[in-house]
Structure 1
């Protein structure tokens, strides 16, 4: 029985030298194997060159197994240009709006941050005199005239005079609101909805009272500082701005020095911009306005701070025909205006009256009053058409 061998030597007929015959066949085998390896390397290099040529960007001449699938192309086009950049086939392939076409697998992400709009306040509460009371109203004595002495001789008669008093009556008024919210919404909301609504109520109450402190008519609400402008010393300016800076200087010096030394300006932001533009025109007047270098510190006009009051008049009247406006106030508001607090902003949660309908009611209320008490501490600029 013969055994099969991977390598078989054939008799070449040279029986005299078998060793030489074996050496010759080994040399032929080595040459064959080297030739085959060289051919394989050339084939591999050729295949590599063909594959690299096919894979070049923009090559459409041959099929390319590595070319992006339509889903990949659709997603790439969508991220770059939105839905309008997709053709009909790509839209059908990538369609988040249709649940059966992939919408089910896309989960939206919700932020727990709630964006709140800006609420602007008139600054009178921070400038006026504020006191708390324990009842519905208060009376504040006002000294209208004091006692004047006189020069006397050693034994001459001494003049006598009695002080005269008046009193200001300040009533408190209630501001209230009720917010109905479903129980399930309070339970399932991703944010602390109850705290968010309380902050929102507090801001809205603050805005309402700040507006009343400036322009309130006293009917069910505080009496505003500018409810009766005729009570104050007035400086008249033209609404076209031709004499505005001059009148501001007159206004500043129309207020007694004791009040002016601690006084402040109040005006709308648009009025502030108008005055600054006028002051920047002339180098001599540029020093009237000075911006603050510290964050949070107001700018100054003629050395006194300026506060923005969004509830005040602008320079120009919106009425037709044009009416007079009161765009600038300067004074010592701590002496001129009194605010009384009876009850701060109180929010009560009512779980019972709306329980049959699954409603929780947030009931908020505030009791506060305010009134001008010393008109001599404020001067007003009146702009006429």
Structure 2
């Protein structure tokens, strides 16, 4: 009898919990694993690896079974047909697309299309690091203070150098969902377009919710937003990890070109290079900034000459994020830095859909869900301009 992917994942999670319990017990007593514990730990981790292989085989088997039906169609058309069948509640499609965590898995090609469109409409995704994970417990170790180094001659004594300090980042995650209704007549229509339905009823809602969470989310069953971390007017070397730097403007509701230049150079040179370096502000702030001129009377704002590319301010692209605050006393309306190094978004792979055609006769409710997380990963990478007190 074949074991389902759901059961394999449950067994894997149980084994990992047991292995982590052994580690936690040893760490609580500030010791290594004992001679008795080490084989138990290795046994569980070996079993996890064996289950991982079983999961991959099971996934491949499911993919092969569905591939036979798609040979006469292009991959994209086959994915659309499968997704349309899931939404309509056709039994074969629903059995083939059952997800391990409940509901029905959105076909991979449709899921990739959703992710691609989210990249276009979710502004933070354009500049932040986006990581796809198979679980919700993604973690990252970061070095909050690098090991020191030095120079020495061939026979000189080597002084002991500082030990790097590590911190673990585990972005808070939550279930991002949309819950649209659709009439059964529309679902059964031969011209029903699942891609258009997703764009109009799911993607825009996802983008709006994500945009707010990546900046202002409190970390409770949602990402922890960039704007929710503490800030201080302290240079990088003097701040604790997790506290971001702000520079105080000279006025409560206006900025000068010189202040914007100063903010750029608050970000150290290595961070000002590569992808993800940008300004971030809302439209109200943009309307003020784009009127600023330098000492020679030239505008410091440059409109893009290429469709789809952002405008530039002092040479760097501008991301208009409406969830950034307006210019007001003590506010943080402008951010600049390397968002790719500063903020990480985690996407659990796969979206599920649950259909309900019982609650309201003649209608079908469709519950689309995906798990998304986000957190600050380098508090030196992005700086804020803080308005003066009133």
Using structure 1 for the length normalisation, give the TM-score: 0.60
Greater mean deviation of Cα atoms: 176-185 or 328-337: 176-185
The alpha-carbon deviation at position 185 of structure 1 amounts to 5.0
- Residue 291 of structure 2 aligns to a residue whose secondary structure is helix
Q: How does 1:256-271 map to 2 (within 5 A)?
A: 256-262=268-274, 263-271=277-285
Q: CA RMSD in A?
A: 2.4
Aligned pair 1:203/2:209, yes or no? no
Residues 1:207 and 1:160: Cα distance change in structure 2 (over 3 Å): same
Structure 2 partner of 1:22? none
Match 1:296 to one of 308, 323, 335: 308
Q: Distance in 2 between matches of 1:195 and 1:148?
A: 54
Q: How does 1:224-243 map to 2 (within 5 A)?
A: 224-230=225-231, 231-237=243-249, 238-241=251-254, 243=255
The alpha-carbon deviation at position 193 of structure 1 amounts to 7.0
Given that residues 291 and 299 in structure 2 are in contact (C-alpha distance below 8 angstroms), is that contact kept between their aligned partners in structure 1?
no
Match 1:342 to one of 336, 341, 348: 348
Aligned pair 1:332/2:338, yes or no? yes
Q: Distance in 2 between matches of 1:250 and 1:195?
A: 46
Residues 1:240 and 1:146: Cα distance change in structure 2 (over 3 Å): closer
Match 2:286 to one of 246, 267, 272: 272
Aligned pair 1:374/2:378, yes or no? yes
The alpha-carbon deviation at position 181 of structure 1 amounts to 3.2
- Residue 139 of structure 2 aligns to a residue whose secondary structure is strand
Structure 2 partner of 1:65? none
Q: Distance in 2 between matches of 1:127 and 1:174?
A: 22
Q: Distance in 1 between matches of 2:122 and 2:261?
A: 24
Structure 2 partner of 1:33? none
Q: Distance in 2 between matches of 1:147 and 1:195?
A: 51
Q: Distance in 2 between matches of 1:121 and 1:193?
A: 20
Gaps of 5+ in 2: 1-119, 232-242
Structure exhibiting the larger radius of gyration computed from Cα positions? 1
Structure 2 partner of 1:138? 138
Given that residues 138 and 171 in structure 1 are in contact (C-alpha distance below 8 angstroms), is that contact kept between their aligned partners in structure 2?
no
Q: Distance in 1 between matches of 2:230 and 2:307?
A: 33
Q: How many residues align?
A: 254
Given that residues 121 and 210 in structure 1 are in contact (C-alpha distance below 8 angstroms), is that contact kept between their aligned partners in structure 2?
no
Residues 1:335 and 1:155: Cα distance change in structure 2 (over 3 Å): same
Using structure 2 for the length normalisation, give the TM-score: 0.60
Match 1:246 to one of 240, 258, 261: 258
Residues 1:255 and 1:374: Cα distance change in structure 2 (over 3 Å): same
The alpha-carbon deviation at position 232 of structure 1 amounts to 1.5
Given that residues 331 and 378 in structure 1 are in contact (C-alpha distance below 8 angstroms), is that contact kept between their aligned partners in structure 2?
yes
